[in-house]
């Protein structure tokens, strides 16, 4: 039996650089209490939230029975991983009314009523991701990670008397403290793998070498000499992923420098292609989870009232006007195409997680994600019958491949409370919750 072990917090360090390692066998030596713990709970200590705006077309989204045997067209991208997915139908956000884009976004993770104001006296509620971060994020490098796809520079009043902050911020650390999100892959990358020094000092260090990984070459060699061949393969795979993400960021920055007509809604230096940008932001989440850099993520995949167009899927018209469909079949069809496109980006990420080994399973086995919108029918601006997908293995507890449908609207806060309980947050209630969803998980106690 190998008795050699290295700390779970072992890092590869260089000038202004600190790279966490993924979970290695050498971090969990056989015949120890830690090994027994890992085998028992499978590290269900991470959770993510993905937000999509402006509701959905339920005709192409809602399964026709309580299984996912035959997926409707908008959910077809989940086919390969549907055994790790549960679709929940007919949840609502009562505190999001009277109905707006601003409250759809602000209430999704808080289930709290937003104060109607155009000034800085805004007020919402502490969001579930931040509650999770206080319980499971304090032992990681970053307690939580807040991401988005758009440059959120608007201030003042954005939607029917509501301040822009309600649309700009998905996460709130307190009822009066909205958290900014980051859409620039380079900034996210440096927050995950940078350490110490000013941005200028880090830039000079990187200019001396072609890659961040070149700064830790000696450390990589030293660590690989201390572990077995399986762990060496894990390290190589993880570092290859980091190098590939860095290469994609560098390519985007070079392309931006050559582009005379930048997109004003897109940060300078991000990929010009929306799907490529989203894939890069998802890949950064994967690296952050794999290296245990953070255990909590929120990601605004698109912004409420967005006028983004999607010509690559046959929707050249702006997103927001299309959602006011007036039951026009052509517009409804385009809403469904956007729903499918957004979900396909999430599905690709889930497949990447499933392909990433961790412990006695994979990254998806040991994670939970909630994907959805704070709006149901966008034409009415209502907050009932929300599109919602729960994904992940929950350490062997979640029973996927199912459709849970409620006859009467159920508070979305019940879902939030259930997920918080499953990652070890001992809350008895959250916002307007009326209980937990016992049928979502097998009756296993963490």
Q: Quick check: 395 pLDDT over 60?
A: no
Alpha-carbon gap, residue 392 to 368, rounded angstroms = 5
pLDDT value, residue 213 = 87
pLDDT value, residue 269 = 61
Say how far residue 31 (Cα) sits from the centre of its chain: 35
pLDDT value, residue 149 = 94
- Residue 34's pLDDT band (boundaries 50, 70, 90)? very low
Q: CA distances (Å), 332 to each of 264, 291, 296, 321, in order?
A: 28, 41, 34, 11
In this structure, are strands 402-411 and 85-92 parallel, antiparallel, or unpaired? parallel
Average pLDDT over residues 19-43: 62
Alpha-carbon gap, residue 399 to 409, rounded angstroms = 22
- Spans of all domains in the chain: 8-41+190-269, 45-183+296-440
Residue with tokens 């077995």: 228
pLDDT value, residue 37 = 42
pLDDT value, residue 40 = 40
List pLDDT tens digits, range 402-422.
999 999 999 999 999 999 998
Longest Cα–Cα distance of the chain, Å, equals: 68
- Residue 36's pLDDT band (boundaries 50, 70, 90)? very low
Q: Quick check: 200 pLDDT over 90?
A: no
List pLDDT tens digits, range 82-120.
999 999 999 999 999 988 999 999 999 999 999 999 988
Of the candidate CATH numbers 3.30.43, 3.40.720, 3.30.160, 1.20.1440, the domain formed by 45-183+296-440 belongs to 3.40.720
Give the chain's mean pLDDT. Answer: 87
- Residue 392's pLDDT band (boundaries 50, 70, 90)? very high
Q: Dihedral sign, CA of 270, 274, 275, 281?
A: positive
Alpha-carbon gap, residue 299 to 364, rounded angstroms = 17
pLDDT value, residue 266 = 46
Q: Quick check: 446 pLDDT over 70?
A: no
Report phi then psi at 400, rounded to 5.
-85, -170
**SS3 of residue 109 by DSSP:** coil
Report phi then psi at 148, rounded to 5.
-150, 180
pLDDT value, residue 2 = 47
Alpha-carbon gap, residue 340 to 327, rounded angstroms = 19
- Best CA proximity match to 223, nearest among 5, 31, 3: 5
pLDDT value, residue 205 = 58
Q: Quick check: 267 pLDDT over 90?
A: no
Alpha-carbon gap, residue 231 to 236, rounded angstroms = 9
């Amino acid at each position: 039996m190998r008795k050699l072990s290295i700390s779970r917090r072992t890092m590869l360090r260089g000038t202004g650089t600190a790279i966490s390692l993924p979970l290695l066998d050498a971090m969990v030596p056989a015949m120890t209490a830690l090994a027994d713990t890992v085998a028992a709970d499978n590290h269900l200590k991470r959770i993510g939230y993905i937000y999509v705006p402006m509701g959905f077309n339920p005709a192409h989204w809602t399964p026709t029975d309580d299984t996912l045997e035959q997926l409707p067209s908008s959910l077809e991208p989940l086919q390969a991983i549907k055994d790790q997915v549960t679709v929940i139908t007919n949840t609502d956000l009562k505190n999001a009314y009277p109905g707006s884009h601003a409250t759809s976004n602000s209430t999704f993770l808080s289930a709290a009523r937003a104060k109607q104001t155009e000034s800085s006296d805004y007020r919402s509620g502490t969001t579930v991701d931040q509650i999770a971060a206080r319980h499971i994020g304090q032992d990681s490098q970053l307690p939580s990670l807040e991401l988005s796809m758009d440059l959120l520079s608007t201030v003042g009043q954005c939607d029917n008397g509501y301040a822009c902050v309600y649309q700009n911020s998905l996460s709130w650390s307190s009822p009066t403290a909205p958290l900014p999100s980051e859409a620039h892959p380079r900034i996210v990358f440096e927050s995950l793998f940078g350490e110490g020094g000013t941005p200028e000092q880090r830039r000079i260090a990187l200019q001396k070498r072609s890659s961040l990984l070149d700064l830790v070459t000696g450390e990589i060699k030293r660590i690989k000499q201390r572990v077995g061949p399986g762990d060496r393969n894990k390290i190589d795979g993880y570092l290859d992923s980091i190098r590939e993400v860095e290469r994609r960021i560098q390519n985007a920055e070079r392309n931006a420098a050559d582009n005379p007509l930048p997109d004003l809604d897109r940060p300078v230096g991000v990929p010009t292609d929306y799907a490529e940008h989203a894939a890069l932001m998802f890949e950064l989440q994967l690296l952050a989870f794999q290296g245990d850099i953070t255990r909590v993520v929120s990601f605004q995949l698109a912004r409420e009232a967005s006028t983004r167009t999607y010509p690559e899927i046959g929707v050249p018209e702006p997103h927001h006007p299309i959602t006011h469909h007036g039951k026009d079949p052509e517009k409804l069809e385009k809403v469904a195409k956007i729903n499918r496109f957004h979900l396909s980006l999430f599905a690709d990420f889930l497949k990447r997680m499933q392909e990433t080994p961790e412990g006695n399973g994979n990254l998806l086995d040991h994670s939970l994600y909630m994907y959805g919108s704070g709006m149901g029918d966008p034409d009415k601006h209502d907050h009932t019958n929300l599109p919602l997908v729960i994904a992940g293995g929950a350490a062997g507890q979640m029973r996927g491949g199912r459709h849970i449908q409620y006859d009467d609207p159920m508070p979305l806060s019940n879902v939030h409370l259930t997920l918080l309980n499953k990652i070890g947050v001992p809350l008895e209630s959250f916002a307007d919750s009326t209980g937990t969803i016992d049928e979502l998980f097998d009756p296993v106690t963490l």
